[in-house]
Amino acid sequence: MARPPAFTLARSLFRYEGLIRDAIVSLKFQGDMALLPSLEVLCRQSALYADFSEPDFIIPVPLHPLRLQERGFNQALRFAQACFPQWRRKLAPFLLVRTVHTPPQTSLGGSARRCNLQGAFTIDADVCLNGKAILLIDDVFTTGTTVEVCSRELSRAGAARVEVFTLARSVVM
Does residue 163 fall inside a structural domain?
A: yes
Domain that holds residue 148: 9-169
DSSP 91-134: B-TTSEEE-S----GGGS-HHHHHHHTTT-EEE-TT---TT-EE
Cβ atoms 140, 167 nearer than 8 A:
yes
**Residue pLDDT, tens place only, 33-89:** 988 988 888 888 888 888 999 999 999 999 999 999 999 999 999 999 999 999 999
Q: Which CATH number goes with the domain that contains 88?
A: 3.40.50
The number of distinct structural domains making up the chain is 1
State pTM to two decimals: 0.92
Q: Does residue 136 have a pLDDT over 90?
A: yes
